[in-house]
């Protein structure tokens, strides 16, 4: 999916998500149903992964309004227990 921009005489620029390569030169405005003409600009293409999009949005928000924390992230968190070898043959091997 890509987001294309159309200009409606009543509503101004309107974003319309359409499959790539299927954007007509004009279509009915999704707000008022009048004819909207496509503005020729590069389509905004989604990266596909919602996690990536959320991370990018969070990074962009932090430019103007960084999140305020009261403690160091991760401090006080309990570490997971270290896995121990259960096989007696591998107990003497060096550990990282």
What residue ranges bind Zn ion (CB under 5 A)? 8, 10-11, 29, 31-32
Residue 43 beta carbon to Zn ion: minimum distance, rounded to whole angstroms: 20
User: What is the closest distance, in whole angstroms, from the C-beta atom of residue 37 to Zn ion in the complex?
Assistant: 11
The 10 Å Cβ neighbour count of residue 30 is 14
Q: Least distance to Zn ion from the beta carbon of 15, Å?
A: 12
Q: What is the dihedral of CA 18, 24, 16, 21, to 10 degrees?
A: 30
Q: For 10, phi and psi rounded to 5 degrees?
A: -90, -45
Q: Which is nearer to Zn ion, 10 or 47 (CB)?
A: 10
CA distance 45 to 2: 5
Q: Do 35 and 28 touch, CB atoms closer than 8 A?
A: yes
Judged by beta carbon, residue 15 or residue 54, the one nearer Zn ion is: 15
Q: Which residue's CB is nearer to Zn ion, number 23 or number 29?
A: 29
């Amino acid at each position: 999916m890509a987001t294309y921009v159309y200009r409606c005489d009543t509503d101004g620029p309107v974003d319309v998500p359409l499959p790539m390569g299927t954007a007509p030169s004009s279509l009915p405005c999704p707000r008022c149903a009048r004819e909207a003409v496509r503005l020729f600009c590069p389509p905004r293409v989604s990266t596909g992964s919602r996690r990536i999009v959320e991370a990018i949005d969070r990074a962009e928000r932090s430019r103007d309004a960084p999140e305020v924390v009261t403690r160091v992230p991760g401090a006080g968190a309990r570490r997971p227990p270290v896995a121990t070898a259960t096989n007696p043959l591998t107990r003497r091997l060096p550990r990282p």
